[in-house]
Amino acid sequence: MPTYTEQGKEFSRDMNYIPDRITREPGRSQDGWVSTGSTSGGELEAPTWPVEPGRYRLVAAKACPWANRAIIVRDLLGLEDVISMGLAGPTHDVNSWTFDLDPGGVDPVLGYERLQQAYFARYADYPRGITVPAMVDEPTKAVVTNDFPWITHDFFFEWRDHHRPDAPDLWPDDVREEMEAVMKRIFTEVNNGVYRCGFAGSQEAYEDAYDRLWTALDWLEERLTDRRYLMGDAITEADVRLFTTLARFDPVYHGHFKCNRNKLTEMPALWGYARDLFQTPGFGENTDFDQIKRHYYVVHEDINPTGIVPKGPELESWHSPHGRERL
């Protein structure tokens, strides 16, 4: 559920997650020393778990943008045979995501009806929200981490021995510093920016969030006018992180979250870029517009109390030619 700051009723996302990491070497990652701390802002010691094919289960939901990025990265890197995946349904109650897509409403590997059970297997009194994505230890059926920025980071750096031979370089060294800055702006102003609009608790907070969002989207439109992807001519983690928001923009954020200056389809560069990614293996087949709409319009009862899910917009144009090969 959304939280608000004391002044102005701005939406504030709780970024304190379970800080554990799954790494090739205990106490150290392939990208630097990580014995303590978390990019989520936590101050807890961050234990590391060993990389072991077949041991962990990614629990995700195609409806959730933060989980969707983990699904896409797992697919892009070819980790399907070494990290199993369980998918929660698009709707949930205040307690937990549920496995209502599976026969009998039970995850076939974990034997759980609710993701909450994996959290409680590790922390009997877990005090925060039950979020996806989550990495779960199959032998103990207990959650390992739900720290979503690190999950996809570690899929690349820590599981690289198990990537398929033609896996993309999602974190290229030559643009790493710039990419980190781009991803930071995308997260604060776009990924989280749409939520600041949708869950604003005052007119002032909403208008400030709206202006910030469109400043960032205009910056992205300009950036993508003369380059195929955010960092040049190859797909990176930055593209995955932006895509999951763009895919939800017209079906959800434009109306439901009041981000309605214009539609994604009215921004030539961003719309072509989004279609380019959608038509790339790993992206489109992991994007379920029906689940996306059901999640937002049914779960957010405070914004949409009727629970009515809109039939539109038209989505067939996602398959139309994008013409960005010329870049």
Q: Which residues are annotated as a binding site?
A: 97
- Binding site for glutathione: residue ranges? 97
Question: Which tokens in the block code for residue 37?
Answer: 């701390």
> Which helix or strand (DSSP H or E) is residue 254 part of?
helix 254-256
Our CA dihedral for 107, 252, 229, 214, rounded to 10 degrees, sits at -140
Active site residue 64: yes
Our CA dihedral for 87, 93, 95, 96, rounded to 10 degrees, sits at 0
- Decide if 158 contacts 208 (C-beta within 8 A): no
Give the 3-state secondary structure of residue 283. Answer: coil
> Which helix or strand (DSSP H or E) is residue 50 part of?
strand 48-50
Rounded to whole angstroms, the Cα distance separating 258 from 90 reads: 21
Rounded to whole angstroms, the Cα distance separating 135 from 148 reads: 9
Residue 15 half-sphere exposure, CB side, CA atoms within 13 Å? 15
Active site residue 195: yes
Active-site choice (17, 112, 119, 195): 195
- Residues marked as catalytic: 64, 195
